[in-house]
Structure 1
Amino acid sequence: MSATDHSGLMDRIYRHQRHIYDVTRKYYLLGRDRMIDGLGVPPGGTVLELGCGTGRNIVLAARRYPEARFYGLDISAEMLETAKAAIDREGIAARVTLARGDATDFDAETLFGVEKFDRVFVSYSLSMIPGWEKTLSAAMAVLRPGGSLHVVDFGEQERLPRWFRAMLRAWLAKFHVEPRATLRKELEAEAGKRASSVFFEALYRGYAVKAVVGA
């Protein structure tokens, strides 16, 4: 699927859902707040979210790290409209820059005027991105020395009942979401290219996974 096709798909899916997205997803997009708490952004640091959606994570991270600057990239114009409104309501527009783009292939300096970031995070987006492996490479490429990539997404649900796994996957498929079975392998491959460390953790009996690559 081309970036243009994927952008149109995301806009169609979220044109109306974006208004209730955060209320409904809070019950099953688990581990996001734990990831934000673990970012450990240095004072005055820069943070990029790939697939920023409604801006929910950026708002919470901006509260948690009031001295940092935040940047959000999303392929959906509909989601970015909601994100901008959320950021304006929070009064943090001076610290946040949003841009429309493809998380698998983007030029951070052109979009944001920033070439490298202290932290990059991806929250429940890899499971929706065609060619998601390229997002990992793109994320690692824009990290400053000593920076880190943080990921949270659906896991393989390996310790949950089979009926639950089947029901969840059928539900996710309606939104073009697919857990990435090779996520750990791909993260380790990216880390190996840069002699970086990888921390990988299964959460909630495999319902979700959380990973950190780098410092």
Structure 2
Amino acid sequence: MSTQDLPANHADLMDGVYRWQRHIYDLTRKYYLLGRDRLIAGLDVPANGSVLELGCGTGRNLALTARRYRDARLYGLDISAEMLVSAQATIAREGIAGRTLLARADATDFDAQALFGVASFDRVFVSYSLSMIPGWEKTVAAGLAVLAPGGSLHVVDFGQQERMPGWFRSLLRAWLKKFHVSPRDSLREVLESESTKAGASLSFERLYRGYAWLAVVRR
């Protein structure tokens, strides 16, 4: 596992949040982190392609990606050392350590070549991490910067629940705040702006009445 200099405050915060939660994270989050499997199904990884997850957490998404795309080379980074302990265990359990590399790094500012010995990737994805990352806009830019020609960036995260009852939105926001999660109301605008800068195209979809947003940026 590789590492880079990290912003101590946020790294420590995430380690504190997940030191115990990581043990039940996958069991509990499957009920409200909706759209993750749909994102993975839509990756359409090319033969022998490379996939990077920014904010890989417990490794759950990388494991599912490995099952679906049997010859893909997998990479994951996370700022939380605690989460990476779980991710390493997941990778070992799935028997995919030979084609998976993990690193501790800040998703807003990382050097893929230094971390993985790889400068670009066919697919990059971010699943329910932007809503937890300070300066998350930089993560979008960083993800696009490491895309190989013809590659794509895939994002799923909390939407604005725009077609759901107000009471549900209020309760959800209050619950998420307990875990330092803040849905990004400007996500679409940022993706549009960064796509234009990169000369890429954007597709954007609202899932489950706006509960979640799913986006794909293609070079």
How far apart are the structure 1 equivalents of 2:8 and 2:106? 9
1:9-58 per-position Cα deviation (integer Å, ceiling 9, x unaligned) = 00000000000000000000000000000000000000000000000000
Partner of residue 144 from structure 1, selected from 143, 148, 151: 148
How far apart are the structure 2 equivalents of 1:174 and 1:193? 35
* TM-score, with length taken from structure 2: 0.97
Structure 2, unpaired ranges of 5+: 1-5
Q: Give the aligned partner of residue 8 of structure 2.
A: 4
Q: Give the aligned partner of residue 135 of structure 1.
A: 139
1:72-127 per-position Cα deviation (integer Å, ceiling 9, x unaligned) = 00000000000000110010000100000000000000000000000000000000
Q: Give the aligned partner of residue 109 of structure 1.
A: 113
Q: Give the secondary-structure state (helix, strand or coil) at the position aligned to 1:71.
A: strand
Q: Give the aligned partner of residue 61 of structure 2.
A: 57
How far apart are the structure 2 equivalents of 1:204 and 1:12? 31
Q: Give the secondary-structure state (helix, strand or coil) at the position aligned to 2:174.
A: helix
Matched-pair identity in %? 70
Letter in 2 for 1:137: A
Letter in 2 for 1:132: W
Q: Give the aligned partner of residue 86 of structure 1.
A: 90
Q: Which consecutive segments of 4 or more residues in structure 1 shift more than 3 A?
A: none
Q: Give the aligned partner of residue 14 of structure 1.
A: 18
Q: Give the aligned partner of residue 119 of structure 1.
A: 123
Letter in 2 for 1:61: T
Q: Give the aligned partner of residue 169 of structure 1.
A: 173
CA displacement at 1:4 relative to structure 2:
1.2
How far apart are the structure 1 equivalents of 2:7 and 2:157? 21
How far apart are the structure 1 equivalents of 2:111 and 2:117? 9
Partner of residue 200 from structure 1, selected from 198, 201, 204: 204
How far apart are the structure 1 equivalents of 2:46 and 2:8? 36
Structure 1, unpaired ranges of 5+: none
Equivalent pairs, count: 214
CA displacement at 1:195 relative to structure 2:
1.8
Q: Give the secondary-structure state (helix, strand or coil) at the position aligned to 2:138.
A: helix
RMSD over aligned Cα atoms? 0.7
Q: Give the aligned partner of residue 190 of structure 2.
A: 186
Q: Give the aligned partner of residue 35 of structure 2.
A: 31
